[in-house]
Amino acid sequence: MDLTLTESEAAFRDEVRSWLEENHPGPAPEGDDAAEFEFRRIWQKKMHEAGWAGISWPEEYGGKGATLIEQSIFNEELARQRVPAPANVLGLVMGGPVVIAHGDEEQKERFLEPILSGDEIWCQGFSEPESGSDLASLKTRAVNTNGSWKVTGQKVWTTYAHEAKYCMLLARTDQDAPKHKGITYFILDMDQANVDVRPLRQITGEAEFNEIFLEEAEIPDENIIGEVGGGWQVAITTLMFERAGLGAAAVLGLKRTMEDLIAVVRERGLDDDPVIRQKIAQLHIGIEAMRLGSLRALTQTMKSGIPGPEGSLSKWEWADYNQALTELGNEVLGPEGMRAGSDWSYRFLRSRANSIEGGTTEVLKNIIAERVLGLPRLR
Amino acid sequence: MNFDLNDEQQEIKRTAHEFLAARFKPEKVRELADADSYDDSLWKEISELGWPGIAIAEEDGGQGLGMIELVVLLEESGYACAPSPLLGTAGAALVISAAGSDEQRSEWLPKLASGEAIGAFGGFSDGESTIFCDLPRADVVVTFDGEGALLAPASEVDFEPFKAIDSTRSYGLVSEATGERLPGDVDAGRDRLAIAIAAELTGIAQRALEMAVDYARERQQFGRPIGSYQAVSHRCAAMLLATEESRSLTYYAAWTADAEPESLPMAAAMAGARSADAGWEVPSSALQVLGGIGFTWEHDLQFWLKRGRVAGRMLGTPRDHRERVADLSGLGESQAVPA
């Protein structure tokens, strides 16, 4: 057991750190979503030119080929220096890795480079109004018509759909097969009349997400990833890798919020309040436990090569602790915490989604119960 | 960066697990608890394995291994709920190692390392004796008196045995803090002691979790195993989370004691708080999963439940540990006048 960085890990961190210090683009512009997105696109291009954009991608596909520990160090540095996210987040963490793992040579040739450069933005069309946690029940259907497919249905919670060139789309291609077997993984060109994107306004007032309405949208055969009917497996294997290496950055985000919270508590003269002190300590302990649990999981993944279901614990902790932190901030601030549009009221409201997005806490508990503890399946 | 036990530590853990499973079967735990007794021949065996002295320096007669190795043993001892003076003895030795004078070290550490002497520890909180661990059988007593720590042969300490709800260990209450002051770094000793207790609590939580999960797989109600109901399975998932958080914080704290002492105070306070919570919440939750059978004297869960409750409150309450975390977290020391 050694929690210090090895010489080469420390050298890697120093390299990342100094590059970011020299090339930090400054904070993204606020208030204008389109301008912000363009800012992040330019930033991604700069990262790509220096080889950082595809941090987890193999070198032969233009990536950095970083180990999981290095990815973790990299993401932690990004969070530490409050670097804006690259524009094509979903392409980088999901779209590219899917194509690399399951795509053919032509698909790799066609899709990978523009993902890295940010020239083609990707979004993800998985969830549907009637298929949330039970994703495999999805109803969007694709019908084969001589070398191309016509897709009809509705997708929801689609981040960046209005900016995206391509959508990772799960659609049912066999109505008669068992529900997990009849699904195919497509790459949908968003640039066509049969794709209608509408923003979805959230309780925070902003519209981070979209709905997509598909009416006989066209997808050519060559845009199928993997086998027809094999889409579920493709989606699952890549979902498992989605969070690898992201734990450290999530922890750093929580630590940031904790620092801000402590500053507020001091400002308002509540640092001697025994109840507040206990709550802050409790959260400190939880966040530290999450940091250490992520490191333990990372060590295991490095050994076995496959992320285990224990990663569900970190996601669960993150949601719980972020919600508790922002609730406490909201509470200690008095009226300012309730003011519409204030920083803390936004954080407080936005964190309500943490226990829903990317796997509800209930689904995570099911995974832990069934796959870690070996309890009998519910279904 | 590597957060896992090394091969040697895993081997220690496996060996300890097997030894304790063979020697301290639940019926043996019950027999000793009913008799309010330890088994001298088993203590001799444990001593011959070198466990009491595993973290004591070689020049003081120990094995010279680290806090992580001791944590691994105590976790397994908690898992087995083994009635033995291991925690009191190893715990007292941690404080004497960190804070004792040369004389105090040479007088007590070799005897504690060999198991020839038994140690006890405890303290005073607002003038009241805490529960002293392993006191009635001890030869030497470490007492935290608020200013630091005192060391005394047990024969010089005025105490009475305390019959706690936990009958798998012996306890006592002391009438006044007695002994020679330990001149060295008492805080470092106390932090290590908190980690030792945290390790035992982690093992207790692990065992209670397993009891609940085993039962939830087997027990049928309404025609299906109760573990297939989310009200039960999600409770079990929460028990796993509590146990793993306790383990992560405890292993990390042990690592800081050996390798990064500047991080030790915060790490020990966090491990102390989380393990004390887990050491109670998990057995308590296990009882709920077990239902009526878990509430009977006949069922073994009671030993882990009671030991977990007491061990988490021997060296301060979880609240005290959290207050220390708050103090170290940027909120500063509380100025509040104690009520």
List pLDDT tens digits, range A187-203: 999 999 999 999 999 99
Amino acid identity for residue B55 in this structure: A
B14-32 confidence digits (pLDDT tens) = 999 999 999 999 999 999 9
The answer to ipTM > 0.90 is yes
CATH code assigned at A24: 1.10.540.10
Annotation says A242 is catalytic: yes
- Whether residue A5 lies within 8 A of chain B, CB to CB, comes out as yes
Contact B233 A366 (CB under 8 A): yes
Exposure letters B46-56 (e unless 16+ CB within 10 A, then b): bbebbbbbbbb
A340-359 confidence digits (pLDDT tens) = 999 999 999 999 999 999 88
Banded model confidence at residue A31, pLDDT cuts 50, 70, 90:
confident
Residue A183 maps to a domain: yes
Give the pLDDT mean for A199-208: 93
- Whether residue A1 lies within 8 A of chain B, CB to CB, comes out as yes
Identify the pLDDT of residue B126: 87
**CA nearest A282 in B: which residue?**
B322
Residue A306 maps to a domain: yes
In angstroms and rounded to an integer, the radius of gyration of the C-alpha atoms of chain A is 22
* 3-state secondary structure (DSSP) of residue A25: coil
Range of A166's domain?
Answer: 122-230
Is the domain of A57 the same as that of A165?
A: no
Interface A:B, Cβ pairs < 8 A: 160
Exposure letters A197-234 (e unless 16+ CB within 10 A, then b): beeeeeebeeebbbbbbbeebbbeeebbbbebbbbbbb
Contact B325 A300 (CB under 8 A): no
Banded model confidence at residue A303, pLDDT cuts 50, 70, 90:
confident
Shortest alpha-carbon distance between residue B16 and chain A (Å)? 19
Is the domain of A208 the same as that of A256?
A: no
Looking at chain B, the whole-number percentage of residues with pLDDT higher than 90 is 96
Give the pLDDT mean for A14-36: 92
Q: Considering CB atoms only, which of B68, B236, B326 is closest to A375? A: B236
In angstroms and rounded to an integer, the radius of gyration of the C-alpha atoms of chain B is 19
* pLDDT(A135) > 90: yes
Is the domain of A176 the same as that of A208?
A: yes
CATH number for the segment(s) B188-331: 1.20.140.10
- Answer with the one of A68, A87, A106 that is the final residue of a domain: A87
- Write down the catalytic residue from A9, A36, A218, A242: A242
Amino acid identity for residue A3 in this structure: L
Contact B259 A4 (CB under 8 A): yes
- Whether residue B125 lies within 8 A of chain A, CB to CB, comes out as no
Residue A102 maps to a domain: no
Q: Dihedral through CA B98, CA B101, CA B103, CA B104, nearest 10? A: -50
Please count the structural domains in chain A.
Answer: 3
B261, B106, B91, B268: which is closest to B185 by C-alpha? B261
Is the domain of A209 the same as that of A317?
A: no
Is the domain of A367 the same as that of A285?
A: yes
Is the domain of A223 the same as that of A276?
A: no
A318-321 contacts at long range (C-beta below 8 A, 24 or more positions apart): A318/A250, A318/A251, A318/A254, A318/A290, A318/A354, A319/A351, A319/A354, A319/A355, A319/A361, A320/A286, A320/A355, A320/A361, A321/A254, A321/A283, A321/A286, A321/A287, A321/A290
Amino acid identity for residue B310 in this structure: V
Relative orientation angle of helices B318-326 and B264-290, to the nearest 10 degrees:
140
Distance between start and end Cα atoms, chain B: 45
Chain A residues closer than 8 Å to B260 by CB:
3-4
B217-233 confidence digits (pLDDT tens) = 999 999 999 999 999 99
Contact A292 B319 (CB under 8 A): no
Q: How far apart are CA A212 and CA A218, in angstroms?
A: 14
Is the domain of A178 the same as that of A253?
A: no
pTM of the model: 0.95
Domain-by-domain residue ranges, chain B? 188-331
* 3-state secondary structure (DSSP) of residue B5: coil
Residue A106 maps to a domain: no
Contact A271 B4 (CB under 8 A): no
B155, exposed or middle or buried, with CB in 10 Å at 0-12, 13-18, 19+? exposed
Q: What is the mean pLDDT of chain B?
A: 96
Identify the pLDDT of residue A245: 57
Shortest alpha-carbon distance between residue B129 and chain A (Å)? 24
**CA nearest A368 in B: which residue?**
B237
